[in-house]
Amino acid sequence: MPVTAADLRAWIRAFANQVAEERAHLTKLDSAIGDGDHGQNLNRGLSHAVDGLDNGNDDLPSTMKSVAMSLISKTGGASGPLYGTFFMDAGKAVGERPELDVAGVAELFRAGLAGVQRRGKAEPGDKTMVDALLPAVEALEEAAENGEALPTALTHAKAAAEDGMKATTPLQARKGRASYLGERSKGHQDPGATSSYYLVAAAADTFGSSA
Amino acid sequence: MKKLINAPEDVVTEALHGMAAAHPDLLTVHFDPTYVIRADGVPEGKVALLSGGGSGHEPMHNGFVGRGMLDGACPGEVFTSPTPDQMQAATEALDAGAGVLHIVKNYTGDVMNFEMAAELAEASDVEVQSVVVNDDVAVEDSTYTAGRRGVGGTVLIEKICGAAADKGHSLDEVADLARRCNEEVRSMGMALTSCTVPTAGEPTFDLGEDEMEIGIGIHGEPGRKRMAVESADDIVDRLMTPILEDLPFTEGDDVLLFVNSMGGTPLIEVYLAYRKAAEIAEKHGLRVVRNLVGPYITSLEMAGLSITMLRMDDDLIDLWDAPVHTPALRWGA
């Protein structure tokens, strides 16, 4: 079954729940190499985004825009503009389509990732959100090419994001506050890559189950 | 955590209410979105100066809002960048027809949020220029990091550019002046203790009783190295040496020497450090023509110091001496 605006809203709620549940974990990861506010900030932004979802039967682009604006205005720090731009650009890419197939979901994530990179100027391997998002996008695109069903495609994307997240541990951070640690940033999993994995995992758990 | 607060999540808002109550003649605090602007309004045709950043660095930036310095400031949560909607609202409120200069400290979050705000302001036809301050010499490898951080130089740039805007300089001129000052200023800090963000409840980093961090950032970001605590004179030497080694100071230069408390270090120790810093500057043939001593850009209750040196010329001295009346800096007015 294709992804509808209602599925997108379920995805955002699942993402928000996951961040709320893992807030302490994100804080711990961020305290090790950042300033410890990633879980707190993202939770604040997402709670506001979820409140904004309750008012109705928005279509795909307006759902994405409302989430983007909530994250931009309520999150703060670096994660507000980064996740805000993800949803803003992802929303523009899916446009007026009523629903999304595997290729559409891949486009959504590709556009969101491009937005994150435009805003944050991070390259793969810099120990950032990009390191979890890029493998997921590539897995989705490959699945679309191979004609895989949505749940299978998302299962692959989730696994790829998880691998990407774990692979940030040995990396030296080159962007954001963690970069000031230099060598000392090695040996810690990146909090941004971790929340980005939750974003992909939430999509797999919600879009996957609608099939 | 032992702090003089009510609830961690109310700290920023309650402090802002306190500032509004204490300085109604100088500033007005708006909420939802949150921003602080000068109480008497920006004079028609004057370039407006807006800065902002995470809270916890008081008096920066709200304490520099008034006459002759900042026209507005956007406070974020503690150590968290403010958001574009705050900046956009403040930018629109401040524009008096001559445009708005955004003074941004080089932190990933601050830069991205101000960038988005500038994009939003463009859409509403307010002319905006942005200057990113990055004066922290502690960051050695700016290619593979987010670059040098904006620290003590920000305070000096806000004062000097505020005076230039008062004298009727255009937006381009004030922005150029800010960029020129940024090239002429260098800073380095150190910490004796960590600090605790109220909502985190635990110290940002661990520092042993006999340890210090040299090159600390104003949010407790790590610096160049962690080592055993030394005498004040040796510590000041460790901060002054990289500042002097970096461009642009040469013998015979006039400088402004700014010795800053990170919040927890008392003035008696800051003056003790200033004595040594001035001695080192003069030994290098520099003339300390102006100074600033005290807590102006802090990291909550962190004990420690930062030292900033700005190379001065006659124009900059005139602008520094120009009248200023804000909660934290006041002379000639």
Q: Is B219 labeled as catalytic in the residue annotation? A: yes
Active-site option among B23, B61, B169, B219: B219
What average pLDDT does chain B have?
A: 95
Cβ distance of A35 and B219 shorter than 8 Å: yes
How do residues A88-117 score in pLDDT, each as one tens digit?
Answer: 999 999 888 889 999 999 999 999 999 999
pLDDT at A55: 67
Q: What is the DSSP letter of B218?
A: T
How do residues A122-178 score in pLDDT, each as one tens digit?
Answer: 999 999 999 999 999 999 999 999 999 999 999 999 999 999 999 999 999 999 888
Question: CA B126 to CA B91: how far, in whole Å?
Answer: 8
Q: Please provide the DSSP assignment of B87-117 as one string.
A: HHHHHHHH--SS-EEEEEES-HHHHHHHHHH
How do residues B110-126 score in pLDDT, each as one tens digit?
Answer: 999 999 999 888 888 89
Query: For B220-273, what is the HEC assignment?
Result: CCCCCEEEECCCHHHHHHHHHHHHHHCCCCCCCCEEEEEEEECCCCCHHHHHHH
pLDDT at B224: 84
User: Residues A35, B219: contact at Cβ < 8 Å?
Assistant: yes
pLDDT value at B65 more than 60: yes
pLDDT band at A211, cuts 50/70/90? very low
Nearest Cα neighbor of B132 from B153, B160, B117 is: B153
Cβ distance of A177 and B221 shorter than 8 Å: yes
- Which has the higher per-residue pLDDT, A57 or B316? B316
Q: Which two tokens stand for residue B141?
A: 């490898």
Question: CA A195 to CA A211: how far, in whole Å?
Answer: 25
**A53-67, B61-75, B114-128: segment of lowest average pLDDT:** A53-67
User: What's the sign of the alpha-carbon dihedral A78, B200, B141, B214?
Assistant: positive
Q: Of A5-9, A25-29, B70-74, which has the strongest mean pLDDT? A: B70-74
* Angle at the Cα of B147 from the Cα atoms of B155 and A72, rounded to 5 degrees: 80
pLDDT value at A210 more than 60: no
pTM for the full predicted model = 0.90
A152 in contact with B, Cβ within 8 Å: no
Cβ distance of B76 and A76 shorter than 8 Å: yes
